[in-house]
Amino acid sequence: MAKREFQDPALLRHGGKRPYWYIRYRIRVIDDEGKIVRKEVWHPLGNCDEATKREALRQRARVLEEVNHQVYTVRDHIPLADFARIYETQHLPTLAPGGREQQHCLLKNHVTPALGAKRLCDIGTLEVQAFLNAKAAEGLSWWTRRAMKAVLSSMFTKAVDWNYWDRRNPVTRVRIGKKRVKYEKRIPTDEQLRLLLDRLPGRVRWIVETAVSTGMRISEILGLKWRSVDLDRGVVHVEERYYRGDTGEPKSERAQRSLPLGELVAAYCALKPAGASAEDYVFHERGKPLDDRELLQKVLRPVAEELGIYFPGFGWHTFRRMHLTLVQEAGATTFEAMAQAGHSRPSMTREYTIIGLDRRERAVRRMQRRLFVVGKEPDRIAG
């Protein structure tokens, strides 16, 4: 925090054809070379023929009250590009790897090129709205623009925490428009999943079966160690995740959860090597955890394309979405599905759930059989 300064300049009278009252005080600014300099301000208080000295003194008191209550700092004059570097150094390491990578890419490719030359104090709601509107015109998806908005909002929140900003967050009232889904949310049919599993090599098959059976994230499956698998109880404990070279705790506190393996217990018993230690990864290549991108690009996607069941958006999240959809079709409540997924909000679980037309048709038919005499020809009303 910069030092507070108290200024008590004298009331001065400027001569000339029409004299006026004024005071002088100093402020700090950044010059064109980026150096902090003190600049004198001449603040007029009114013409002498319109304001008496007493009235000018009252006006002087009002001006100085604002001046002396201000913390004289130029920290909000910092260019956004420079603050982004501070943000990446101090804040991004506290995020999960996925969020860290996403924010870094958004800052590098979109936010800094467009707004980096502006000072923090020059960025308001209008500038942020214009930035996001321009990105929409470029064809960027609703989800990408929402992520950009979240990054900018987080930056100004941290600017407050680190005493670079003392005003309302300019991102708060920015709107990104109506959500438009880029890809239709889809999951494989039961038959398509069986075909896929039959064609996948053993290790990848067990990964897919684990994802469909438990709803675990791929990072949670690849980070799974034998100490977290309780074969006696048929339960897997999600305690760690592995994401593209980074090992750590799951995404959130709710993501640390216990999940039933069900019919997969026998498969896991057969999968576990005789000399496996508690710290060994369940799915590994020579002791090292697997890479989700390599498995997707070299194994899963080619097989799906060959079978003709690949669709835009197909990936590891497809099986997580399939799990949350099917367990609810089997009778699980939204809150039970939320516990399976490790979500903190039911709304997020609903985003993953696909309620198909077939399921709704079956529900309608059950309701009809309960209320109506199904199959009987209705009476015709003449005329």
40-76 burial, b if ≥16 CB within 10 A, otherwise e?
A: eeeeebeebeebeeeebeebbeebbeebeeeeebebb
* pTM for the structure as a whole: 0.62
Q: Quick one: average pLDDT of 354-379?
A: 71
Q: Quick one: average pLDDT of 367-382?
A: 64
Largest distance between two CA atoms of the chain: 104
Residue 379 has pLDDT above 60, yes or no: no
Q: Where residue 383 falls among pLDDT bands split at 50, 70, 90?
A: very low
Residue 239: exposure state from Cβ atoms within 10 A (0-12, 13-18, ≥19): middle
- Confidence (pLDDT) at 382: 46
- Confidence (pLDDT) at 381: 44
Tell me the per-residue pLDDT of 319-364, one tens digit each, with 9 for 90 and over.
999 999 888 888 888 888 888 888 888 877 877 777 666 667 777 8
State the chain's mean pLDDT as an integer. Answer: 86
Tell me the per-residue pLDDT of 272-285, one tens digit each, with 9 for 90 and over.
888 889 999 999 88
Q: Are 26 and 40 in contact (CB under 8 A)?
A: yes
Q: Are 203 and 315 in contact (CB under 8 A)?
A: no
Q: Directed axis angle between helix 316-329 and helix 202-214, to 10°?
A: 40
Q: Quick one: average pLDDT of 101-108?
A: 93
Ranges 5-9, 32-36, 106-110, 331-335: which has the least confidence: 32-36
Tell me the per-residue pLDDT of 153-194, one tens digit each, with 9 for 90 and over.
999 999 999 988 888 999 999 998 887 766 677 889 899 999
